[in-house]
Structure 1
């Protein structure tokens, strides 16, 4: 029991240090796996960003289903790494093929009904056709059709986005 507690304490301490020094680890398929660091400047369209989920229901779902692991976000989870797909003032349209931003379809943005283990996904946020309001952004994966992103939890506050840049990426098997 002591060994398990010590290992857990060391892991939490390491995650805390990573967070303090602006480092983020991505182990999901939504973005290239590897190590990222916070970058200066305000996020712009298509920038890579780190964002902590603020909605308790979606954060609980992400933890329960292992979409996210425990981490240093205020909700106790690791941050998501996504791309800024839409900014305030952009026009969003959701159709059968996915999400179009200002008339251009975002790659692999069609919401899926079930995750890779067959569990039902939350109903996609019904944007219909709307303009992104001030202070909010749309964050999406452009690599993984089943990415847990704004398709499911909706728009996120711009103030919660932190621009990141890759430090070390792990090439997928076969590349």
Structure 2
């Protein structure tokens, strides 16, 4: 998103971790020799037309967190406020609502300019590359599966089209 949708204002993603103990951080926070090696690795993979690793690199950690996490830049209150902090007091203001929906529509249009070959979700691999190689996931699907619902879509499967049920 940071590379392909520069007109979308988002906080800088500094790092993230998964429940299996993998931790990733921006390569710029690693020692010089790691940054240098990573740059060569990215150029080589680009020349071979292989998936190029992202700007995030796996980092060692002495801590094992049992939860996933993301670390983002702090946004100063002078820059903006979270919608959840202002929604209650301004939800009836038609001008603010119009601005909100206009901004959301611009965001959706910007993100949708990037053509994707399949329908699915993103996977972050050991080498830091990110590929569209997993089944479509939504919050609703995750909640249902965590509550014991059977899995209907296979893992590691993407789709070429949307199938609508016929009744």
Higher relative contact order (CA 8 A, sep 6+): 1
Question: What's the TM-score once normalised by structure 2's chain length?
Answer: 0.22
Larger proportion of helix? 2
Structure 1 or 2, whichever has the larger Rg, is: 2
Greater share of strand residues, 1 or 2? 1
